[in-house]
Amino acid sequence: MLTLPTSVHIYLCAHPVDLRRGVDGLAAITREVLLREPLEGHLFVFTNRRRTRVRILAFDGTGYWLMTKRLEAGRFTWPRARPGQRTVSLRSEELAILLAGLDVIVRKRPRWERRSA
């Protein structure tokens, strides 16, 4: 299980990208396509067209982390985005399920959340 602070958000890129790009290329996609700033410290998750690889880009305050997972068999199940949606937000539990190669629950039930002041 991934343990992340509640201040860290997880953003999945809704569309596949070329994972041959390195840190700078994925940071550029984060800025230009996802319209987010990679230096904020959130996790940005990308997949390739065949959905056999996942890359996670993160900034920890001193530098970038680029994590890669490649499945030897099967494919990652990617949540569907609504038309025009660039990212899909996940909780850390859902990311752990996705990285384990399991189906992420797409339909979320309404739940109580504390509103930020």
Cα 61 to Cα 64: distance, rounded to the nearest angstrom: 8
CB 88 within 8 Å of CB 15: no
Cα 69 to Cα 83: distance, rounded to the nearest angstrom: 27
| pTM for this predicted structure | 0.82
Extract the tokens encoding 65: 């982390």
pLDDT in tens, the chain (117 residues): 567 777 889 999 989 999 999 999 999 999 999 999 999 989 999 999 999 999 999 998 899 999 999 988 888 888 888 888 888 888 888 888 888 877 765 555 666 667 766
CB 23 within 8 Å of CB 66: yes
